[in-house]
A and B are shown apart, each in its own frame.
Chain A
Amino acid sequence: MQKIKPLDHLILILGALFLCVPVVMALMSSTHAAIDIHSNGLYITPGSHGAETYTKVLTSRGGFTGDVTGLLMLTNSMIMGLGFAVGKIVLSMMAAYALVYFRFRFATLIFWAIFATLLLPLEVRIMPSYQVMSELHLLNTYTGLIVPLLASATGTFFFRQFFRSVPDELLEAARIDGAGPVKFFIDVLVPLSRTMMSAIFIIMFIYGWNQYLWPLLMTTDESFFTLMRGIKSILQVWVGSQIPDYNEAFALAVLAMVPPVAVVVIFQRMFIKGLTESDK
């Protein structure tokens, strides 16, 4: 039996509180009226306006055109998140497959070139990307929102490392079993990569979900508003004597947190299962 060390526990409890309290505060504050938050600050106890705030946030129409609801923003964010995650996984898996299994000249060089793009953040190439999309008339489309950011050096890197760890004999066995390149990819590599795919899915879904700058630039049509922009726009209405709707901002923030948390919870189980099931 291990001795309980009070100091260790204290540190752990403080750490947990440090991480949890802001989230709890946001959740609790969102159930109070905006005016109370403005005068009394943040709350840590539940209030009585929860249901109406969340209903309002999800259904009331806002924005300049007056037809952006929370639900629409949630849908848009979801499309971004899923589009990014799925698109990046498909693309980087195929890229890594080509790099690892097809012997062409300069494969390593190409890989390092792809890898080097990791050093360039989106912001560096945002103007040229914008211009390309604009000339292709893809502004204000989901295609324009998602496709330019799909190429993923991170994903390609992870899948490349993973494919390299798959024993060559498996490929040889598949060749003898009459599986061509496409069949081997779909029948063997994809099922084997499930763990890797769920890990990348978590990362990329959150990456897409949290996109702010790119959607801001690419879309002027309010029907493409994402949650991130919605939160921002609520706080931007500090005009004259009007108080910003803190409670709604908090409610949106809480809503914005739910899907990523859900994704992590769901995929983490697969992720850990994959890690503990040894041998490939």
Chain B
Amino acid sequence: MAHLSLTNVGKTYGGSAQPAVADVNIEIRDGEFIVLVGPSGCGKSTLLRMVAGLETITEGEIRIGERLVNKLDPAERDIAMVFQNYALYPHMSVRDNMAYGLKNRGERKAVIEERVAEAARMLELRPYLDRKPRALSGGQRQRVAMGRAIVRQPSAFLFDEPLSNLDAKLRVSMRMEIRKLQKRLGTTSLYVTHDQLEAMTLADRLVVLNGGRVEQIGAPLEVYRAPASTFVASFIGAPAMSLLDAHVENGQVMLEGHALAPVAHAAGPVTLGLRAEDLRLTSGGVPMRVDHVEELGAQRIVHGTVGDQALAIIDTSEALLPETVHLGVAPSRVHLFDARTGRRIETATQPVAVPAE
């Protein structure tokens, strides 16, 4: 167990001028669960593989504990990795799969057996120890892959989209299992996913990546409540935050000529961010033409347009909706972004509540 520190880490592939990962600075505390999240091609997997030692580091430093690991082999870094397609050795039994790394380290037989037995007990794999991976279901294989990581008792776990090959239901239960296991073992973890829901539920802290750069680092709720840019705003939360062109006039956000909420910001064009769950249907306010409604049972998502800008609202009533509805929002739930750079504009009316950890 150890802390992990990434300092100005960057990676440029040979033959390309554009860095795949640039200027990443993350300090990961001992025992912390960090999720790297971003769309595909944002460099999150590359970053993880650099920590693992599977990709060379072209810039910056990575330290695990106090050791500089830039030049070390993956096996010497004292990490364990769980792959998306499990990467179990198909010709070895579950037991041998878990024991292989320890054997290569020259661990004593008794120690190997004890650790494998312990991991198998924890992951409920005991009845399957002598089976080959192909005789296991997807969820069981994923467990074996985790068992292989656990038995090594590494300083850090690295997860590379470990749940994306599982079906939706299993994904939810495995997600909880991973979280519980990590809490219990207290091992520092770095987890890569493109699924923002997975990221929100698992992470102590999120690292949102875009185009190889860090957009925002923070606790899930912090990122959700105060996204640092339009990119983060549109990526975190479902349905995605609606981003609209608006402008500020006389201390009011004006959307298509309608005053929406008071803000303390100089007049001028802004990008307005509105979460579907923060918007309410009201009797007066900004009119929206209803385009279509997604019924989800407990709630429904109403898609519509204000002027010609698309917008979504979550509505919990079951009443028939008129063609045009009016919507309102609490001033504290209005997000403003710089119209040009997309960076967040902090306004006085937006106290950000950060939950105690």
Contacts and interface: CB of A to CB of B under 8 A. Distances in A.
Interface in A169-212: 169-170, 172-179, 183, 187-188, 191-192, 194
A92 to B, nearest CB: 20
From B85, B104, B148, residue with most partner A Cβ within 10 Å:
B104
A187 B105 CA distance: 14
A41 interface: no
B79 interface: yes
B104 A177 contact: yes
A187 B148 CA distance: 16
Given A169-B85, A277-B134, A279-B134, A176 B91 contact: no
Nearest to A166: B90
A167 B87 contact: yes
Contact of A192 (B91, B100, B105): B91
B83 interface: yes
A240 B89 CA distance: 68
Contact of A175 (B75, B85, B89, B148): B75
A170 B89 contact: yes
Contact of A178 (B83, B87, B90, B105): B105
Contacts of B104: 177-179, 183
Nearest to B101: A177
A176 B100 contact: no
Interface residues of A, number: 21
A47 B148 CA distance: 66
B100 A280 contact: no
Interface in B61-104: 73-75, 79-81, 83-85, 87-91, 100-101, 104
B52 A192 contact: no
A194 B85 CA distance: 22
Contacts of B170: none
20 contacts: A170-B89, A172-B52, A172-B74, A172-B81, A173-B83, A173-B88, A175-B54, A176-B53, A176-B74, A176-B75, A176-B81, A177-B104, A178-B104, A179-B75, A179-B100, A183-B104, A187-B100, A191-B91, A192-B91, A279-B90
A191 B53 CA distance: 26
Contacts of B74: 172, 175-176
B75 A173 contact: no
Contacts of A177: 75, 100-101, 104, 148
A243 to B, nearest CB: 57
A188 B91 CA distance: 8
Given A173-B81, A177-B101, 11 more contacts: A170-B89, A172-B83, A174-B89, A175-B73, A176-B101, A178-B75, A178-B105, A183-B104, A187-B100, A277-B134, A279-B134
Contacts of B75: 175-179
B87 A280 contact: no
Interface string A268-280: 0000000001111
Interface string B294-330: 0000000000000000000000000000000000000
A187 B83 CA distance: 20
Contact of B79 (A176, A183, A187): A176
B87 A169 contact: yes
5 tightest A-B CB contacts, nearest first? A178-B75, A177-B101, A169-B87, A178-B104, A173-B87
Interface in B102-121: 104-105
B233 to A, nearest CB: 34
A181 to B, nearest CB: 12
Contacts of A188: 89, 91
Given A169-B83, A183-B104, A279-B134, A176 B89 contact: no
Contacts of A187: 89, 100
B54 A172 contact: yes
Contacts of A279: 90, 134
Contacts of B73: 175
A178 B101 contact: yes
Nearest to A173: B87
Contacts of B148: 173, 177
A187 B52 CA distance: 22
Nearest to B82: A173
A30 B70 CA distance: 74
Contacts of A178: 75, 101, 104-105
A19 B88 CA distance: 45
A280 B134 CA distance: 9
Contacts of B83: 169, 172-173
Nearest to B86: A169
A186 to B, nearest CB: 12
A136 B104 CA distance: 42
Contacts of A277: 134
Contacts of B52: 172, 176
A191 B81 CA distance: 23
Contacts of A192: 90-91
Contacts of A170: 87, 89
A2 B53 CA distance: 59
A85 to B, nearest CB: 22
A139 B79 CA distance: 56
Contacts of A167: 85, 87
A31 B87 CA distance: 58
Interface in A248-280: 277-280
Nearest to A193: B91
From B52, B79, B80, B89, residue with most partner A Cβ within 10 Å:
B89
Contacts of A176: 52-54, 74-75, 79-81, 101
A61 to B, nearest CB: 49
Nearest to B160: A169
B127 to A, nearest CB: 21
